[in-house]
Amino acid sequence: MSRPAPRAPVSCFEKAVDLLARQPHFVRQLEVKLEKRDYPSAEIAATISRLTELDYLNDRRTARGYVEGRLRRGGEGARRLRAALVRKGAAAEAVEEALELVPRDDLPLARQSAAAWRRSRRGKLDPRVLARHLDRKGFSRGSIFALVDELREECHAKAQDEE
């Protein structure tokens, strides 16, 4: 029985294209993945340069796509989106440009997130827990206070009705 011929090592460029075919990456994110695979720094730099020239790698486009996708799903504010982009290695100018897609008034998005939270609570509505939930989701303080006030008023009204 013959053994299969050993495969030739995959070049840095081929690996990068393979990774990009699976999902968009930020420049820094792709560099880190290639570094972990022990490709030489010069080869990584040349690969990144070539992919950028070919427009396969574009932090601005990737950041916009990321934010658009997360906004379609709803339930996240600008602070959380900013943190996610920075954690993924997006360039600062790409982060700022992508966050321009987030509505300045995030109350409607926060209201959607609060409604989903309420459905999962099964009647246990604690304004402090809602505030923590909305804060983790990255909504503005103004929207959080408005929704917490609404919930407090609702809880107060229910308590009075039960008396």
pTM, 2 dp: 0.81
61-100 in b/e form (b: 16+ CB < 10 A) is: ebbbebbeebeeeebbbbbbbbebbeebbbbeebbebbbe
The SS3 of residue 104 is: coil
Return the structure tokens found at 118: 């309420």
Q: Which CATH architecture has domain 10-57?
A: Orthogonal Bundle (1.10)
Domain-wise residue ranges, the chain: 10-57, 60-102, 107-162
> Could you give the CA distance from residue 90 to residue 71 in angstroms, rounded to a whole number?
18
pLDDT digits (tens, 9 = 90+) for 57-96: 999 999 999 999 999 887 799 999 999 999 999 999 999 9
